[in-house]
Structures are given as structure tokens and as C-alpha cells.
Amino acid sequence: MSKEIKVALAGQQNAGKSTLFNVLTGARQHVANYPGVTVDKKYGRYSFSGSSYLAVDLPGTYSLTSFSLEERVARDFLIKERPDVAVNVVDASNLRRSLQLTVQLLEMGLNSILALNMTDVAKARGIRIDVAGLARKLGLPVVETVGSKGTGRDDLRRVIGEKALVDHGDALAIDYEVLEPVIAEIEKAIGVVAQNWSLPTRWFALRLLELDSRAAALLKDVVSPGEAQTILQMAEDLAGDFLLREGISVSDHVVAMRDKYVRSVMDGVVEGGERAGESISNRIDRFVLNRWAAPLFLVLTVYLIYQISIVWGYELTNYTWPILAWFRELVSGFLPAAGFLEDPYIRSMGLWLVDSANTLLNYVPIFLILFALIAILEDSGYMARIAFILDKVLNRFGLHGQSTLPLILGGVFAGGCAVPGIMATKGIPDNRARMATIFAVPFMNCLAKVPLYTLLLGIFFVEDKSLMMFYISTMTVIFALLVSKLLTVTVLKGEETSPFVMELPAYHMPTVGGVMRRSLERTWIYVKKVGSIVAAVAVIVFTMLQFPGLSDQSVQQFEARGLEAIATFQKKMQGNRYAALASDDNIVPLVNYYTDFKRAKLNASGAESSLAVNDAFEKRNPEFFPLVKAPKGDKQARNAGKALKNLIGERKSIRREMKEERITNSFLGMIGRSIEPVTQYAGFNWKINVALLSSFAARESSVATLGVLFQQDEDQNATLEQRMGAETQAAGATALLAVSMILFFALYPPCLATTVMVKVQTGSYLWMMFAIVFPTILGLSVSSLVYTIGLAAGISGIDMMTIVYLSALALLIVVGFVSARREATSMRKQRANIGGTNANAAR
């Protein structure tokens, strides 16, 4: 057999479908104790006794209607691709609900196998299942599996192989009792127009009677519009008549009959399993979800995440940074050597790339810890409880209880990354809330925003640092909630919504392997996605900062200064024992030798490795060595070293000036200047504009760019904080400017990697553009207001921040209050309506 056998895995959420898929195919797929991990289809191949199989993991669905995205994805696949075998994964501990889906699959006429999963849990709950009896009653093979332990794999593979060969019988036809004549009527009408229909007409007739919109669309695909119209009209009339006659809608009746069938199947086959007494989960919940203990427990959890991943994680980066520095050295060694004034492009570009990558990789330890902690939250079952606790608050602002995970990943208080955050929005079943979450996540404190905050706080708010940090970290949440509310009542108004119905899975102990695997997976996605995009953008930003470059005139000027410096050095070296080293040919190697040595010394930690550096450099060039490290008592060497140091100092400052001039003239510099008329209201001069523009590539580059732009003068060994402070304060800037910058940065568009993720998750470039334009306008408006008003009224930075914070908080409370009122009103209306329906039904 050469043809690949197509196997679809269908099942309800939390039935262990993804785990079983991994067992079946050996693939490593993301598995979580958090409903809705799979929305996309996942593919995996395996071979078994000579045949090759393509397994498709469908999104978890409770049923196969067309109401949600997952169900549509799953159903469309089953309809259009017609898998050779459908493996229906069911939760053995919850058969009554699971079998509802089984019935629907069988009604579709799919060649099915029942994988009775989680049989261990069922046993533990005292549920006894007569497997042979179940198979007989349902008329299909039943395989017992425990996905989490990998048992039942070979059985399952064998049964799939056998099943693929047999021609399965007719679709299941359960007795719909009073609906039967109606079904027959529609079936007849369909049968006339659609001969080559691959689906059972009975299934199709039922969907039409349920007024299923996708079924109607499918009908239009196969028959002429006129015929489709006739049939749809007929179905509608019949369904209406049925409702009048029986007092129950067709779809309610269908569900009731299916449930009746399921109960008849289970009768005598399944025993026990009533949840008698109090389960352990319930006992934990009694404490964890207690009105008073819940908030405390939640705050403690978030605090622990912050402390362990961010605070301790940062300490860990002190140990990992040397590895990255070593890597930079390695690359630097491979690249062509630096010139005296101008470096080869390939060198600058290469190092720029490595630096960009390193800033990113520096966060890896933090993310590993953060993602591991979040995996523990998910697997333990507590994440679903967090959603349960916070749903009311989040819902009031257009979000969803399940927005919690994306927001935490994005870095609520602690710092995170919007890329995995936006990816995690997949699990939110309510589309409007999902979209709102996608736009809210980038407002969170991404880790890369922190360096700029730290920088600005270090300059302008030394005394109020902790207060400012508190403002910044909590204000992001306020802004995110306000923005999502704003979007929900405006641009997202028309999006589909669905109710909050979420399973609260039983608590269980996360496994070390599972947690580590997920943490690695998410971190890897971060490195891969962010890495590739940041690298690409780094090249663009580099180019835009480099070109068009310096004018010929200034190049000549700088060169003249360079030659002068060399001449001075050579003059000083005259008569020195080492004078021969100062020959024209030797200058560049000597300078590079010196700077390499100094950098190696800086990277070396401890006396031992410092000595090792000495040895290495002595070996590399014994002639040059006395100039960088004068032998004891060798006065001439010391003088020569001093002269060399002066030369290098002069070279450094010339190069710095060149760089500044290059950036000033660069494309990005031009853009920065051209938008100055707009940004001046927010207090941003062109230098700040350039930094903010370049931060679009990756946030952390804002600090690096500021570092270049606010360069230090010769011999002034000041930190960037001091330099920026001196320059901006001299230019009349105050802490107010810092506040304006912080606010802008907090609201500023997501970095490029995030916007790409927005595109992936929303499936639209339009939304991606929106994710860029909207925050930019918002940020600029807020910053301009703050700066202009603050300047006019002479309000200090910290006061302004307090004003902004309190106004935002007040607005949040007002909005929350108003939507609570609205909710209450609509609940009352609904109540009245239900009374009305009953009165109608009674008539």
C-alpha cells in the first residue's frame, strides 16, 4: 500500500486528545490542562506494520455545530477531507458528555474508532466500563488508552490499520421519534437535487432543520441557487411548524434525543462514577476560591512569579551574560579587523547583529523560569481558577476570564513578552474578547521596556523611584483595560461573542518533564520568532542609521584629525626603545591589539582569568605586549603605553563624532527631524524620535540608540544617565519630559515581532496596521497633552505622573461602574423577556 492513510483525531476539550496524538505519532505537541490549547490543526506522521499514516489533531470541540471557530475548523475538515479513519478520543471519566460528540461523528458516517482515554482517572473515580459491551452497542471498535502514560498505543495503531481497510457501514441513524417524518421530507428534497453528495443526506437534513448557517452554505455549493433557496425555505417552514406543534425547537429536540440515545448506550455498560462526597479538588477550591482568601492567594501567586522569574532571573543573567560576551568576541575574531577610523561594513553590521541578538538572548533565563512557572499554573489547574476569579472584572472591560494567561505572559506587573502572550489568546473562545485581548497584551510591561524605564527613573526620579515604578507597572493594566473597553464598544463591536463557559479541571500535580518541555517550547518560539524578525529589522535599522553616510568634506576633516593623532603618537615615540612599533604599518594592528586586550580584561572575572588574558595576549604578540602591560621597572614601556592610550582616546572621540554625524545625517535621523514639529508637543527632540523609531525593531534598542546619541565627551567617564541628564536638562527638559517619554513608551505600538504575531492571530494585515497606528496616536496624544499642559502650568514630573495615574484610575472606575449599571439593566430586561417567553409558551 503506497497511499498514506489519513487519520483524524477528534474529541472534546480536555479529553486528552493532544496527549494521545503525541503518543500516536511520537510528536511533541503543546499539551496543557487548560481548555482550548489546540485551534489549528496539527499534523504528524507515523508508520505501522508497513503502512504510513498521516495523523491530524483537530481542535477540541464539544460538538460539531458551526457556532465556534474550533467547531468549524474540525467539521470542515471532516466534511471536506473525509479522513480514512476518525479516532474519537473520549474522556472515560465523563462518558455521558463525551458520547454526544461520538453520536455526531457516527451520524456523519465517519469510519470511527473510539479511543477510551483517561481510563485511569475513570477507575480512580470508581467508574466501571464494560468495553466490549460499549463496542457492541455503538457498533465500533473501542480501544482503552491512557495518553498520559502512553499505554494503548500499539492497540490503537493496530485497530486504526484494520479499520482503514474495511468498508464501514451506513451512518448511524438514531430514532428522532416525532421529528422522523420531517427529516424524511427534507431528505427527499435534497436527494432529488444532490446525487453525488458525500455526506449522509439524513445528517444534512438535520442540520438544515436546525437552521445551521454553514450547512446552508454547503448546500449552495452543490446545488443551484434557486434549488438551494427552495430547500432552505422548506427547512425553515418545517422547523417553524415543528416548534409550534411540539412546543420545542428542532435543535432542542435533536439534543434531547441524542442524549436519550447516549443514555441507552451507557445503560448497563457504565456503572458508578457519581461524584459522591467531596473531592480533593473541591476541598482545595473551598480555600482557594474563598471570597477573602482568593484575592490574597492570587496576589501571592503573581508576586511569586515576579520574584522568582524577574528578580531572580535577572540575577541569573549575570552568570549567562559572560557567555554571550564570549560569543561576541568569537564572532568579532572571525570578522575582518577594525580600521583606524572606519571599520569594514561587514564588521560593523556583523557586530550590530550579534549585539541585537544578544540583548534578546539575555532574557532567555528569565523566560525559561517565567514560562515554567506559567506551565505549572496551567497544568495544576489553578490557571482556570484565576480566570474564574477575574472574569467579572475583565468582562466588564470587554475581556474574558481566559485573557488572564495572555496578560500574564505579556507581563502584567512582572515583565514578560507580548509574543507568547498574543499566541496564548488562541484559547479564548469569545472572539470579541480574544481580539480585545490581542490589542491589550502589548500594553503590558514587556521586559524590553524595562531598561528605558530604569534609565529614565535613574536620571529624573532618583527619590521617587519606587513610587514611579509602582505607577508604571500598575498603570499599564489600567491603560490596557481602558483601551480594550474602548475597542470593544467601537471597532470590535461587530465581532462575534460567545458566553463564558469554562471547565474547571480537577487539580493535579504538574510533572517535571511536562513543565520543562513546555517552558523550553515557549522559550524556543520566543527565540525563533523574535530572533528572526529582530535580526531582519536590525539590518534595516542599521542601514537606515548608516546611510547616506558622511559628506566627503567631513570625511577629509576626520581623516586629517586621525593623521594628526597618529603623528603626535609617533613623535612621542621618538627615542623610545619601542619606537619601531609605531611604524605606519603597525598602527592599526597595535590599536586593535590594545582595544582587544582592554575588552578581554573587562570581560575577565577574577584574578585567575585576568592572568590568563595576560598570557594569551603575550602569546598573541610578544612584541606589542609591553605596551599594554609594561614590565616592572620598564619606564620606556610605560611611556609608550601612555602615548598609545592617548592615541586610542583621540581615535575613540573622533570615531564617536563620526558616528554621531552619521546618525544625524542618516535616513532615520532625517525622519526623526521631520516629525519633530509633531513630536515637539510631547517634548521629543529628534534624538529621542530616532531612539523611539529604532525601538520599533526591538524595544531594548531604544536605550542603545540613546546611548549613541547622547555621547560622552572625551575623558568624561559619565554614565548614560548622567550624560542624558546633563544634556536634556541643559536644553530645558525636565522630569516632565521623562514622564512624557515613559507614557509614550507604555502606550507605544508593539515591537515588530509582536505586530507580526498580531497578523498571525487575527489573520489580517488590516488589524496588524491597526495595532501599529492606534497605539501611536494614543501614545502621542497622551504624551503631548501631558507635556504641553505640564509645561504651561509648571507642574513637576512626579506630580504630573500622579495626576495622570489618578485620572486614569478614576476613568477606569467610572467606566467599570457604568458598564456594571448597563449589565444590571440588561439582566433585568432579559429576566422580563424570559417571563414573556413563558407566558407565550403557555398560550
Positions touching other proteins (CB under 8 A) are 62-63, 65, 67-68, 93-94, 96-97, 100, 125, 247, 251-252, 255-256, 259, 273, 275, 281-282, 285-286, 289-292, 294-295, 388-389, 391-393, 395, 401, 429, 496, 498-506, 823, 827, 830-831, 833-843
Query: What is the 3-state secondary structure of 579-608?
Result: HHHHCHHHHHHHHHHHHHHHHHHHHCCHHH
Distance (Å, whole) CA 477 – CA 407:
9
Cβ proximity to other proteins, 398 vs 562, nearer residue: 398
CB of 175 to other proteins, least distance (A): 17
In degrees and rounded to multiples of 5, residue 125 shows phi and psi of -90, 5
Cβ proximity to other proteins, 231 vs 390, nearer residue: 390
Distance (Å, whole) CA 422 – CA 434:
9
CB of 304 to other proteins, least distance (A): 19
Cβ proximity to other proteins, 490 vs 837, nearer residue: 837
CB of 214 to other proteins, least distance (A): 12
Cβ(624)–Cβ(593) under 8 Å? yes
Cβ proximity to other proteins, 60 vs 725, nearer residue: 60
CB of 284 to other proteins, least distance (A): 12
Q: What residues are paired with 10 via a beta bridge?
A: 88
Distance (Å, whole) CA 415 – CA 609:
34
CA geometry: angle at 817 spanning 811 and 822, to 5°?
125
CB of 256 to other proteins, least distance (A): 6
Distance (Å, whole) CA 836 – CA 838:
5
CB of 292 to other proteins, least distance (A): 8
CB of 827 to other proteins, least distance (A): 6
Cβ(676)–Cβ(686) under 8 Å? yes
Query: What is the 3-state secondary structure of 613-636?
Result: HHHHHHHHCCCCHHHHCCCCCCHH
Distance (Å, whole) CA 438 – CA 405:
12
- Name the DSSP letter for residue 3: S
Cβ(168)–Cβ(111) under 8 Å? yes
Cβ proximity to other proteins, 489 vs 827, nearer residue: 827
Q: Grid coordinates standing for 314? A: 535577572
CB of 754 to other proteins, least distance (A): 30
Residues near 802 by Cβ (< 8 Å), separated by ≥ 6? 471
CA distances from 351 to 322, 331, 347, 501, 743 (A): 16, 8, 6, 51, 32
- Name the DSSP letter for residue 476: H
Distance (Å, whole) CA 497 – CA 431:
5
Q: Grid coordinates standing for 276? A: 459522591
Distance (Å, whole) CA 418 – CA 475:
17
Cβ proximity to other proteins, 436 vs 582, nearer residue: 436
Cβ proximity to other proteins, 387 vs 457, nearer residue: 387
Cβ proximity to other proteins, 368 vs 386, nearer residue: 386
CB of 499 to other proteins, least distance (A): 4
- What radius of gyration, in Å, describes the C-alpha atoms of the chain? 34
Nearest to 110 by CA among 151, 51, 170, 161: 170
Cβ proximity to other proteins, 336 vs 835, nearer residue: 835
CB of 273 to other proteins, least distance (A): 6
Buried (b) or exposed (e) across 220-249, using 16+ Cβ within 10 A? eebbeeebbeebbebbeebbeebeeeeebb
Distance (Å, whole) CA 457 – CA 451:
10
Query: Is 333 exposed, middle or buried, given 0-12, 13-18 or 19+ CB atoms closer than 10 A?
Result: exposed
Cβ proximity to other proteins, 118 vs 199, nearer residue: 118
Residues near 770 by Cβ (< 8 Å), separated by ≥ 6? 439, 491
- Name the DSSP letter for residue 40: S
Cβ(114)–Cβ(141) under 8 Å? yes
CB of 489 to other proteins, least distance (A): 17
Cβ proximity to other proteins, 63 vs 358, nearer residue: 63
Cβ proximity to other proteins, 497 vs 570, nearer residue: 497
Cβ proximity to other proteins, 3 vs 843, nearer residue: 843
Cβ proximity to other proteins, 501 vs 607, nearer residue: 501
CB of 531 to other proteins, least distance (A): 38
Cβ proximity to other proteins, 308 vs 506, nearer residue: 506
Query: What is the 3-state secondary structure of 603-618?
Result: HCCHHHHHHHHHHHHH
CB of 392 to other proteins, least distance (A): 4
CB of 837 to other proteins, least distance (A): 6
Q: Grid coordinates standing for 453? A: 524605564
Nearest to 471 by CA among 737, 739, 703, 683: 739
Distance (Å, whole) CA 83 – CA 8:
6
Q: Which helix (H) or strand (E) holds 292?
A: none
CB of 406 to other proteins, least distance (A): 18
CB of 840 to other proteins, least distance (A): 8
Q: Grid coordinates standing for 661? A: 554625524
Cβ proximity to other proteins, 179 vs 752, nearer residue: 179
CB of 378 to other proteins, least distance (A): 16
In degrees and rounded to multiples of 5, residue 89 shows phi and psi of -85, 120
Cβ(247)–Cβ(841) under 8 Å? yes
Q: Which helix (H) or strand (E) holds 88?
A: strand 85-91
In degrees and rounded to multiples of 5, residue 243 shows phi and psi of -60, -45
Look at residue 47 and give its three-state secondary structure. Answer: strand
Cβ proximity to other proteins, 67 vs 321, nearer residue: 67
CB of 835 to other proteins, least distance (A): 5
Cβ proximity to other proteins, 64 vs 747, nearer residue: 64
